[in-house]
Amino acid sequence: MMIEGYVKATGTGSTDGVEQALSMMRSASQLVRLLDAYFANHNLSQLKFLVLVVIDREPETDSLRQSEINQRLDVSKPVLHRTVSSMLSAGLLVRTQDNEDSRAHQLALTDAGKTALRAMLPDYFKIITEFMEGER
Amino acid sequence: MMIEGYVKATGTGSTDGVEQALSMMRSASQLVRLLDAYFANHNLSQLKFLVLVVIDREPETDSLRQSEINQRLDVSKPVLHRTVSSMLSAGLLVRTQDNEDSRAHQLALTDAGKTALRAMLPDYFKIITEFMEGER
DNA sequence: CTTATTTGGTTATCATGGTAACTAAAGTCA
DNA sequence: TGACTTTAGTTACCATGATAACCAAATAAG
């Protein structure tokens, strides 16, 4: 960017901090783009991947309510709703009635969901690791 | 996130690199969120702000073609088109016919555009600097 | 127990990013 | 010069994020 020149002109904030921040945002968005492309290749998205992860990694149980997923992932209710719906249609999740609350449902991974997650993980980490090596 | 636990399980990639990357993406997205909120308060967006910056900082001239803005900012043509249209309606930019190419137009800041930019810069840097101090 | 509040989930609408496909003007080249 | 390619800008459509407003069930308060 050419934003840096402003910092001195306005006299607000430290040049270093701003440069670091801009460089960090640039790196992060590059990496996010790489990962998004990878997810798209697998007919997924960041958020769908995280939904799989968050259910899979739950220690005591193998299913969660939508609201519980919402608490774990920083995303709005409508977006999660839409994403979960799409994942149900795609056969990655199954939904069963919640025993304790008739408004709620439990969401669990299907075999396809588990398989998809397992298939993505190695290259997910590989992409990140290689990117970070390139950054150094 | 709880992704870290997978790294060892899959044996792909370095735990450190992945943790750094996830932490970087978290920080970047927090900062982006702060900045987006700031822009929204001023009826702008990241991209609109950058369009103002990129025209303002042009050394030889005070106007640019849409395609030139496109080369400087990493954004698709349709998105830039939409954004520029909106900024024209909002009175932040003016468009004049290009002398050399009858398909093209020159885009320049209006006084309102210049004022808006000047008004935003100090706090823009302040937000970034303060965020970076908090990160250390 | 009835009313009021909170919670789980959904719908509608908007903002901002992308790609594909198109028009028209400009530039290339045989 | 006429045909081909590139470039500037636009349109149509999709994906993914958000907020506001809503229903119905559960919970709290009187």
Report whether B54 contacts B73 (CB < 8 A). yes
For B4-45, how does the pLDDT look when each residue is reduced to its tens digit (9 = 90+)? 667 666 666 667 788 889 889 989 999 999 999 999 999 999
Q: Which residues pair with A105 in a beta bridge?
A: A97
Other C-beta atoms closer than 10 Å to the C-beta of B7 total 21
Coil, helix or strand for A65? strand
What is the rounded average pLDDT of the residues A111-116?
96
Residue A62's φ and ψ, nearest 5 degrees, are -115, 15
The answer to whether the beta carbon of residue A37 comes closer than 7 angstroms to any atom of strand D is no
**CB closer than 7 A to strand C: which residues?**
A 65-67, 70, 77-78, 81-82, 84-85, 98, 101, 103-105; B 40, 45-47, 74-79, 82-83, 86, 100-103
What is the rounded average pLDDT of the residues A114-134?
92
Q: List CB contacts (< 8 A) between A17 and chain B.
A: 128-129, 132-133
The answer to whether the beta carbon of residue A70 comes closer than 7 angstroms to any atom of strand D is no
Lowest-confidence range among A14-28, A53-67, B67-81, B113-127? A14-28
Coil, helix or strand for A107? strand
Q: B14: nearest CA in chain A?
A: A129
Q: List CB contacts (< 8 A) between B28 and chain A.
A: 24-25, 27-29
- CATH numeric code, B43-121: 1.10.10.10
Coil, helix or strand for A108? strand
Locate tokens 């990496």: which residue?
Answer: A31
**CA of residue A43 to C1' of nucleotide C13, angstroms:** 26
Q: What integer pLDDT is reported at residue B11 of this predicted model?
A: 64
**Which architecture, in CATH terms, is A44-135?**
Orthogonal Bundle (1.10)
Residue A2 has pLDDT above 70, yes or no: no
Residue A3 has pLDDT above 90, yes or no: no
For A27-54, how does the pLDDT look when each residue is reduced to its tens digit (9 = 90+)? 999 999 999 999 999 999 999 999 999 9
CA–CA gap between residue B44 and residue B35 (Å, rounded): 10
Residue A48 tokens, joined: 């769908």
Q: What positions of strand C are covered by protein, i.e. any atom < 7 Å from a CB?
A: 7-13, 15-21, 24-27
What is the rounded average pLDDT of the residues A105-126?
94
What is the rounded average pLDDT of the residues B83-91?
96
Coil, helix or strand for B72? helix
Angle subtended at Cα A122 by Cα A116 and Cα A124, rounded to the nearest 5 degrees: 85
What is the rounded average pLDDT of the residues A110-121?
95
Lowest-confidence range among A69-78, A111-120, B1-10, B65-74? B1-10
Pairing of strands B63-65, A105-109: unpaired
Residue A133 has pLDDT above 70, yes or no: yes
Locate tokens 């349709």: which residue?
Answer: B78
Q: What integer pLDDT is reported at residue A131 of this predicted model?
A: 92
